[in-house]
């Protein structure tokens, strides 16, 4: 852990508010100077503060993770049963139980995903080289060697290596979307800002891990390592508690309930056999072990894991990559999706969507940086004259611009500010070729964009005549783009297809308001023709009067094309979508309105959130649909407030700033194409196509997985219940046990797993996405399913016990009678599998028998395996079975058919009663 920088009384937490201090005061606080630290001073500070790296996370060893596989109350009971068996000399029984437990543990260990790497991926953001002043000389050092007080030199394209208080800034802009969530590059300057300014508005600061998109800067390092804003996110991520999923909570509760019930029943039966039946203690102990083994569904963990793994494969085919198995089922329970805006709901590519000319407001089609799109006015294509006006404005936007595209790949790669990239794409749509235009109209001077004046001006002198351009264009001219209120104040007239007209400032201000209300960032573009002999080097702020307004452009980060439909489908499924963004409230509300998320009263800002207590936030959270100006801490609070209300929350995001919330959410969903590695490693699911609609597909699969898990559970539990009832009945009646513990384990681990695995391949049932999300506290087994489990348990036990007694009476062979009892139980399970394809609807149809080919396949495999169990000498030795006469098979199979028909009759009767 690195040490904190020198303290200051400025901040409430005891830390300096560097953004609110002037540059000289910051240098004094850090005991530094503009020429940089001396080498010896820098070395001492490196010893004091530590390297500029983030603290790595603690990880569990593989051995510890292996031991954790046994941390389950049902496994504890099985291990105790194995110990008792070995202690009584039943080595085969005990060894089989131990083997089953070990296999389950190894399988669980292999199915675990990769260890958490979120902090490691964040640390890679700091592994860069940077330019510093040491002893007044410029040097290149590893970013890990930076210390508070170092003077850092940065320019366009550099990654910021630490938190830096600016000393000087020239035309400086930084891309901070990964940290703040705001899509636009932000302007930076050296003057202090308000102490309470949010992170996104601290223009006097540069933050570790962000990118310089334009200009040059010199600044002093104020924080390194864990003390940077990036490091604070890492600390948040390290401290975030990973919640158990609904399934793991339900399974834990089920395990505790089953364990208590099994132990209570086993104890009662043991006491009954000892006190009333006078069984020998050795035999009674083995009977109790058999009962415990019979009642414990030891195959259930494997079935759950396999079912989830099949869901993972299905989701991967739909571009949803699952990193942790329980997230598959949790997606089916999601009731709220908290979606990051930039790069998730939007494309993270600024695009000109509107152009306002004197002729009217023109809509621009085409998204992103491909330079493909068309212009329309009131839904109609532009006339040649109107198109000429658009081209004139687009050429000015291209020339008064510092960005460029790398067009060698698709999509085009932008070098520079995203807003200026949008203007270049507009020019490409208007037919201008970037290189040709710059060659024809070289820039001879400029006034760079500064936050103080909020505009950029360039001076151009043409090199040659071109018949396609008007005479005005060929003269030297001054071009200006910037904030509308500043540019409009410089203009005296406006260009139109009928010639120059007097400027109606109020009318243009209303146009600005209309575009802003649509969530668009508005820029004004103007020009001023100059005399042919105007000096090339002569340009200052005094020339920026009497300009001609060319028009306005409205720029926005557009919604992904498929997002509207996906959000609507989520709403239809009862899933609420909440948009979280670092943008201003007006921009956030405009985009939220496009998605029909809610009205203006449902917009919450970060500053408003800071004023709310946790209890107050919980009262408002269900009515909140849009959250603006959100920081990483805000996202965490929102997730926690929703979870406190019992909501199952999915959080989507792509930036470093999203990682803590992704980890805290019930399901973290990261973007695979444009997401940072930190976001991907903190998430449970990664979207391979960055497509919001893939979340909807994942929810469908998640709900299907839950249905299939419930079907598997309702299938497995009667197997254990039937076996337990057979043993209980035998002890109560004082007869020989119909099955041995190892025979019971055979049924539980081989037959139950073989058959129930087929249910993992069941397809989605009709109306799946018209259901509301299931309540977070819902149990896996409701009253109806408990009744079904009880009924089938009784049917299976009755069939097995009757056939055991019949075979024992006919052949007077205990091993044969037990073999018949086991096969009768297995036959009942095989037919009951068909019942479980639908828990409430009838399966007396051809589709129910053939709709899932794995059902018939698993029954076929089971028949072969069961014949080996009955007739193979090795199996007879291990499990104490003997060959059954063929005459016993018809009645054994008839028992299975009877179970099937009785369950179908119960479904029919239940449906009739429900319809009344």
Cα radius of gyration rounded to whole Å, the chain? 36
Cα gap 152→134, rounded to integer Å: 10
- Nearest one of 559, 592, 577, 588 to 650, comparing CA atoms: 577
What stretches of 461-526 show up as alpha helix (H) in DSSP? 471-474, 484-490, 505-517
Q: Are 581 and 198 in contact (CB under 8 A)?
A: no
Cα gap 342→651, rounded to integer Å: 13
Cβ neighbours of 62 (radius 10 Å): 11
Placement of tokens 């601290």 in the chain: 202
Q: Cis ω on the peptide bond leading into residue 217 (within 30° of 0)?
A: no
CA 122 to chain CA centroid, nearest Å: 17
**Distances in Å between the alpha carbon of 287 and those of 268, 269, 306, 748, 796?**
12, 9, 32, 17, 19
Cα gap 173→770, rounded to integer Å: 47
- Nearest one of 738, 758, 760 to 830, comparing CA atoms: 758
Q: What share of residues in the chain are helix, strand, coil (percent, to 5)?
A: 50, 15, 30
Per DSSP, what are the bridge partners of residue 551? 525
Kindly state the tokens that stand for 772. Answer: 């509301």
Kindly state the tokens that stand for 496. Answer: 């139109």
According to DSSP, residue 50 is labeled -
Q: Are 128 and 210 in contact (CB under 8 A)?
A: no
Q: Are 394 and 437 in contact (CB under 8 A)?
A: no
Cα gap 217→159, rounded to integer Å: 12
According to DSSP, residue 911 is labeled H
Q: Are 629 and 607 in contact (CB under 8 A)?
A: yes
> Is 340 part of the annotated catalytic residue set?
yes
Q: Give the total residue count for the chain.
A: 916
**Distances in Å between the alpha carbon of 506 and those of 262, 486, 512, 658, 825?**
81, 14, 10, 41, 86
Both ends of the chain: CA-CA distance in Å? Answer: 69
Q: Are 327 and 161 in contact (CB under 8 A)?
A: no
What stretches of 354-449 show up as alpha helix (H) in DSSP? 384-399, 418-429, 434-440
Residue of 93, 150, 163, 340 with catalytic role: 340
Kindly state the tokens that stand for 35. Answer: 């020429």
Q: Which residues are catalytic?
A: 340
């Amino acid at each position: 852990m690195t040490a904190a920088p020198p303290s200051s009384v400025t901040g409430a937490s005891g830390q300096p508010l560097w953004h609110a201090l002037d540059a000289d005061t910051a240098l004094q606080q850090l005991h530094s100077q503009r020429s940089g630290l001396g080498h010896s001073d820098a070395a001492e500070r490196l010893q004091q503060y530590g390297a500029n790296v983030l603290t790595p996370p603690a990880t569990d060893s593989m051995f510890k993770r292996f031991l954790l596989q046994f941390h389950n109350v049902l496994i504890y009971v099985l291990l105790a049963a194995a110990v008792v068996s070995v202690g009584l000399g039943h080595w085969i029984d005990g060894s089989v139980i131990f083997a089953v437990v070990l296999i389950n543990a190894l399988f669980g260990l292999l199915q675990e995903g990769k260890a958490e790497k979120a902090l490691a991926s964040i640390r890679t953001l700091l592994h860069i080289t940077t330019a510093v002043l040491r002893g007044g000389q410029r040097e290149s050092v590893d970013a890990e060697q930076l210390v508070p007080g170092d003077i850092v030199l940065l320019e366009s394209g550099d990654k910021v290596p630490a938190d830096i208080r600016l000393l000087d800034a020239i035309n400086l802009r930084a891309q901070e979307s990964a940290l703040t969530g705001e899509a636009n590059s932000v302007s930076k300057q050296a003057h202090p800002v308000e102490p309470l300014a949010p992170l996104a508005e601290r223009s006097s600061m540069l933050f570790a891990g962000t990118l310089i998109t334009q200009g040059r800067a010199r600044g002093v390092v104020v924080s390194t390592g864990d003390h940077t804003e990036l490091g604070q996110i890492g600390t948040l991520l390290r401290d975030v508690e990973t919640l158990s999923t609904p399934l793991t909570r339900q399974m834990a509760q089920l395990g505790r309930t089953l364990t208590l019930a099994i132990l209570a029943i086993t104890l009662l039966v043991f006491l009954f056999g000892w006190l009333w039946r006078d069984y020998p203690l050795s035999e009674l102990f083995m009977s109790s072990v058999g009962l415990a083994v019979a009642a414990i569904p030891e195959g259930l963990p494997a079935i759950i894991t396999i079912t989830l793994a099949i869901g993972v494969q299905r989701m991967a085919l739909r571009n949803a990559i699952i990193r942790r198995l329980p997230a598959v089922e949790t997606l089916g329970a999601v009731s709220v999706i908290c979606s990051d805006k930039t790069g998730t709901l939007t494309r993270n590519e600024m695009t000109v969507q509107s152009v306002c000319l004197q002729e009217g407001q023109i809509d621009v089609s085409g998204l992103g940086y491909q330079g493909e799109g068309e212009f329309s006015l009131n839904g109609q294509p532009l006339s040649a004259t109107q198109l000429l006006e658009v081209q004139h404005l687009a050429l000015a936007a291209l020339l008064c611009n510092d960005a460029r595209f790398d067009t060698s790949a698709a999509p085009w790669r932008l070098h520079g500010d995203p807003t200026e990239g949008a203007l270049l794409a507009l020019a490409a749509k208007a037919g201008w070729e970037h290189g040709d235009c710059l060659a024809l109209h070289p820039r001879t001077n400029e006034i760079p964009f500064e936050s103080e004046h909020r505009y950029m001006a360039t001076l151009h002198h043409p090199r040659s005549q071109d018949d396609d351009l008007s005479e005005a264009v060929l003269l030297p001219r001054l071009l200006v783009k910037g904030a509308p209120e500043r540019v409009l104040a410089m203009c005296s007239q406006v260009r139109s297809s009928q010639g120059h007209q007097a400027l109606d400032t109020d009318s243009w201000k209303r146009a600005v308001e209309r575009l802003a209300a649509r969530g668009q960032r508005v820029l004004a573009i103007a020009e001023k023709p100059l005399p042919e002999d105007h000096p090339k080097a002569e340009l200052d702020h005094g020339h920026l009067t009497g300009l001609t307004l060319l028009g306005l452009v409205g720029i926005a980060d557009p919604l992904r094309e498929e997002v509207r439909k996906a959000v609507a489908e989520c709403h239809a499924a009862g899933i609420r979508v909440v948009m979280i963004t670092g943008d201003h409230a007006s921009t956030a509300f405009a985009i939220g309105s496009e998605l029909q998320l809610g009205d203006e009263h449902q917009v919450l800002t970060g500053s408003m959130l800071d004023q709310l207590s946790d209890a107050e936030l919980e009262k408002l959270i269900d009515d909140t649909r849009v959250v603006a100006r959100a920081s990483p801490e805000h996202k965490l609070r929102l997730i926690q407030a929703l979870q406190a209300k019992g909501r199952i929350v999915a959080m989507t995001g792509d930036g470093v700033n999203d990682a803590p919330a992704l980890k805290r959410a019930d399901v973290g969903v990261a973007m695979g194409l444009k997401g940072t590695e930190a976001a991907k490693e903190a998430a449970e699911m990664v979207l391979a196509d960055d497509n919001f609609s893939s979340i909807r597909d994942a929810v469908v699969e998640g709900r299907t997985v839950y249905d299939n898990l419930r079907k598997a559970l309702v299938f497995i539990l009667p197997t254990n219940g039937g076996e337990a009832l057979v043993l209980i009945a035998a002890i109560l009646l004082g007869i020989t046990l119909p099955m041995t513990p190892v025979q019971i384990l055979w049924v539980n681990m081989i037959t139950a797993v073989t058959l129930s695995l087929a249910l993992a391949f069941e397809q989605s049932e009709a109306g799946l996405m018209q259901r509301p999300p299931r309540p977070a506290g819902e149990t896996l087994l409701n009253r109806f399913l408990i009744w079904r489990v009880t009924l089938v348990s009784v049917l299976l036990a009755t069939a097995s016990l009757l056939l055991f007694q019949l075979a024992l009476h006919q052949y007077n062979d205990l091993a044969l009678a037990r073999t018949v009892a086991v096969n009768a139980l297995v036959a009942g399970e095989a037919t009951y599998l068909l019942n479980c394809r639908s828990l409430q609807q009838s399966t007396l149809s051809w589709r129910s028998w053939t709709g899932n080919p794995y059902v018939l396949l698993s029954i076929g495999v089971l028949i072969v395996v069961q014949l080996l169990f009955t007739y193979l000498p090795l199996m007879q030795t291990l499990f104490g079975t003997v060959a059954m006469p063929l005459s016993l098979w018809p009645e054994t199979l008839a028992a299975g058919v009877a179970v099937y028909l009785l369950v179908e009759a119960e479904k029919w009767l239940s449906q009739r009663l429900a319809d009344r």
